[in-house]
Amino acid sequence: MTGLWLGLVAQKLFVWGAASAVSLAGATLLLSVLQMLASYARKWLQMKPIPTVACAYPLVGHALLMKPNSTEFFQQLIQYTEEFRHMPLLKLWIGPVPMVVLYHAENVEVILASSKQIDKSFVYKFIQPWLGLGLLTSTGIKWRSRRKMLTPTFHFTILEDFLDVMNEQAKILVNKLEKHVNQEAFNCFFYITLCALDIICETAMGKNIGAQSNEDSKYVRAVYRMSDKIFRRMKMPWLWLDLWYLMFKEGREHKRDLKILHTFTKNVIAERVNEMKTNEESKGTDSGPVFSKKKGKAFLDLLLSVTDDEGNKLSPEDIREEVDTFMFEGHDTTASAINWSLYLLGSYPEIQKKVDNELDEVFGKSDRPVDLEDLKQLKYLDLVIKESLRIFPPVPLFARRLNEDCEVAGYKVVKGTEAVIVPYALHRDPRYFPNPEEFQPERFFPENAQGRHPYSYVPFSAGPRNCIGQKFAVMEEKTILSYILRQFWVESNQKREELGLSGELILRPNNGIWITLKRRNPDESQLCTPAVPLS
Ligand code: HEM
């Protein structure tokens, strides 16, 4: 009897307990939802005065208005920045998340010059499976310490060592292009990209993967698929949850590619560590790293030797993050920049002629490798590169998540807002760049650039989180362009509207860059000794 009574009491207690737990969970959930709604309503009201486009619905915001296709989305964003050119900024609601679009130098400065607003937007989370928390994706103390450690590795004197690799790969590229001389127009995009990929692999890891001669490398293909997938995932909220993503074929392929990429980098790092150990042992000294003369010095070697303020070295995983970051940031960007320069030079023969004259002055008729002194002397080419980066910035937009409220052009922008900086639109501000669509390298003559707002031109971003690789990039661009233009005269008949501009992670011409090549010095055609068969 007592047992039955106890059983009934226990049952009741269990029901009450369960009911209370459910109501408590329900109440907590309700409270969190209410809190979220209150915070959302507060943000909505605080941000209300900021100029915006019509049709923002509660919670959904402008999401229904946004074009799903990346080419169309980029065009749409650029169209908005043109419509709102006379306004200081533009607000969009992406679901419940506020976003401000910045395209005026004065307002871009507020974010980029700040030493506090250094957190990257939440979409960078999709790059993290590949790059971990390396220089591009990390923030706070970790980023500051890494940045301090890595800055010396990009010093000009160190970059000088990479010039040999750039020359060697540029020569291979020129020899591959030979077969197009006096032929139909061809798409040069992938030729340049493979060359840039070979350069970054060898300079970052000390590994020659021969992408230009062997287009079928497993690693190269994985790099390509990964960049594509990252951008697709950013655009598709239903693929954002990691576990859910893995349910899709794309998520499983992503996992497979990650394995290929990480295994490759890890093996290269391990190989290099062993090589350094052997070298040190054979020297019988511990006075710092000894670099393999056979392979030349790579960023990886420098990463293996740098230390922080407390004298701590980077772990193998830290090094992997940074090497992968250089691989990701360091090839598509430069390839895009070189392609755009070729396109513009091919469309403006009078400007190409000026480059030609300069090349004659610096190199005469020689096809010798480029040295540091040449790079300094190629001043007009420098302006051409700057102006190409203005019209077609390879990173057409980048974003920060604001970690505290701030004021932009007199408007309050609340913490948690995504601030999107759009160099593509910023560089077309007619106050600083009259006739912005015109290719005029002379804009960058010191006398013409005088008084221009320092944040009106930011192809490499600006402020504390600017691009650490910009000197490397310009060096590579100058080397490759001077190699190509010493051999060939480039022509392009593609109209801007035929390019299929798409602002994914990188500004790409979806329809390719179609150029024709003529020999520049017809009687000197035999000067360039083929480094690879001309098939
Ligand atoms: C024309 C070529 C390049 C362009 C236009 C470019 C542009 C940029 C931009 C706009 C950023 C800021 C991105 C952001 O805030 O989200 C950036 C950051 C970065 N870039 Fe570049 N980049 C180029 C080449 C390179 C190269 C060759 C390397 C390395 C070898 C490199 C390494 C990096 C790294 C590590 C960061 C992150 C820096 C930090 O947050 O401290 N970039 N780049």
Cα–ligand 1 centroid distance for 327 (angstroms): 11
**pLDDT of amino acid 64:** 83
- Ligand 1, atom 42, lies closest to the CA of 469
Residue 136, ligand 1, Cβ within 6 A? yes
Is 473's C-beta closer than 6 angstroms to any atom of ligand 1?
yes
CB atoms within 10 A of CB 341: 28
Q: Domain total for the chain?
A: 1
Tell me whether residue 242 is exposed, middle or buried, using C-beta atoms within 10 angstroms of its C-beta: 0 to 12, 13 to 18, 19 or more.
Answer: exposed
Asked if 276 and 269 count as a contact pair (C-beta separation under 8 A), the reply is no
pLDDT at 296 over 90: no
Query: Is residue 376 over pLDDT 80?
Result: yes
Q: Residue 490: pLDDT above 90?
A: yes
In what helix (H) or strand (E) does residue 228 lie, and over which residues does it extend?
Answer: helix 218-235
149-154 long-range CB contacts below 8 Å, 24 or more apart?
Answer: 149/306, 149/307, 149/308, 149/314, 150/303, 150/306, 150/322, 150/468, 151/468, 152/306, 153/299, 153/302, 153/303, 153/306, 154/468, 154/469, 154/471, 154/472
Amino acid at position 96, single letter: P
| 7 lies in some domain | no
**30 part of a folded domain:** no
Residue bearing the CA closest to ligand 1, atom 19: 467
β pairing state of 411-413 and 501-503: unpaired
**Lowest-confidence range among 121-125, 230-234, 327-331?**
230-234
pLDDT, residue 127, reads: 94
Q: Which atom of ligand 1 is nearest to the CA of 464?
A: 41
Tell me what the mean pLDDT of segment 368-373 comes to: 96
**Residue 348, domain member (yes or no):** yes
- Residue 355 pLDDT class (50, 70, 90 cuts): very high
Atom of ligand 1 nearest to the CA of 124: 16
- CB-CB contact of 336 with 508 (8 Å): yes
Distance 467 CA to ligand 1 centre (A): 4
Q: How far is the CA of 258 from the centre of ligand 1 (A)?
A: 21
Domain presence at residue 13:
no
Domain contains 186:
yes
Does residue 61 have its Cβ closer than 6 Å to ligand 1? Answer: no
Distances in Å between the Cα of 231 and the Cα atoms of 84, 129, 131, 208, 457 are 26, 13, 14, 27, 25
Say if ligand 1 is within 6 A of residue 334 CB: yes
Ligand 1 atom at minimal distance to the Cα of residue 146: 41
d(CA 219, CA 212): 13
Domain assignment present for 6: no
Mutating to test ligand 1, I would choose from 145, 192, 329, 334 the residue with most ligand atoms within 8 A of its C-beta, which is 329
**201 among the known binding-site residues?**
no
Q: How far apart are CA 171 and CA 199, in angstroms?
A: 12
At 231-252, the pLDDT tens digits run 888 877 788 899 999 999 999 9
- The residue type of 406 is C
Query: What is the average pLDDT score of the chain?
Result: 89
Atom 15 in ligand 1: residue holding the nearest Cα: 398
Rounded percentage of the chain residues whose pLDDT exceeds 90: 65
**Strand 97-102 relative to strand 418-421: parallel, antiparallel, unpaired?**
parallel
Are the C-beta atoms of 518 and 182 separated by less than 8 Å? yes
Q: Does the residue 375 lie in any domain?
A: yes
Coarse DSSP helix, strand, coil percentages of the chain, rounded to the nearest 5 percent: 55, 10, 35
Residue 535 pLDDT grade (very low, low, confident, very high; cuts 50, 70, 90) = very low
d(CA 305, CA 299): 10
242, part of any domain: yes
Convert the pLDDT of each residue in 130-172 to its tens digit.
Answer: 999 999 999 999 999 999 999 988 887 788 889 999 999 999 9
Using alpha carbons, select from 476, 524, 520, 480 the residue that is nearest to residue 366. 524
Average pLDDT of span 219-232: 84
Of the CA atoms within 13 Å of residue 430, those in its CB half-sphere come to 8
pLDDT score, position 531: 39
Q: Check pocket membership of 123 for ligand 1, CB cut-off 6 A.
A: no
The pLDDT tens digits of the residues spanning 69-94 come to 777 888 999 999 999 999 999 999 98
Task: State the closest ligand 1 atom to the C-alpha of 473, by its place in the atom list counted from 1.
Answer: 27
Residue 530 confidence (pLDDT) above 60: no
Of 171-185, 308-322, 490-504, 508-522, highest mean pLDDT: 171-185
Q: Is the pLDDT of residue 534 over 50?
A: no
Does the beta carbon of 43 sit less than 6 angstroms from any atom of ligand 1? Answer: no
> Residue holding tokens 């019988």?
284
Domain span at residue 307 reads 36-528
CA of 314 relative to ligand 1 center, distance in Å: 21
pLDDT above 50: residue 528? no
Q: State the DSSP H helix or E strand holding residue 515, giving kind and residue range, or none if neither.
A: strand 514-519
Q: What is the mean pLDDT of residues 395-408?
A: 96
Judge if the beta carbon of residue 135 lies within 6 A of ligand 1: yes
Is the shortest distance between the CB of 397 and ligand 1 below 6 Å? no
pTM to 2 decimal places: 0.89
CA of 458 to the centre of ligand 1 (A): 11
**C-alpha separations of 302 from 288, 323, 326 in Å:** 11, 11, 13
Report the CATH number that the domain containing residue 491 is assigned in CATH.
1.10.630.10
DSSP 120: B
Percent of the chain at pLDDT > 70 equals 92
Q: Do residues 484 and 461 touch, judged by C-beta distance below 8 A?
A: no
138 lines ligand 1 (CB under 6 A): no
pLDDT surpasses 60 at 434: yes
Does 525 have pLDDT greater than 50? no
What SS3 state is found at 100?
A: strand
* Strand bridging mode 186-187 / 514-519: antiparallel
What is the 399 CA–ligand 1 centroid distance (Å)? 13
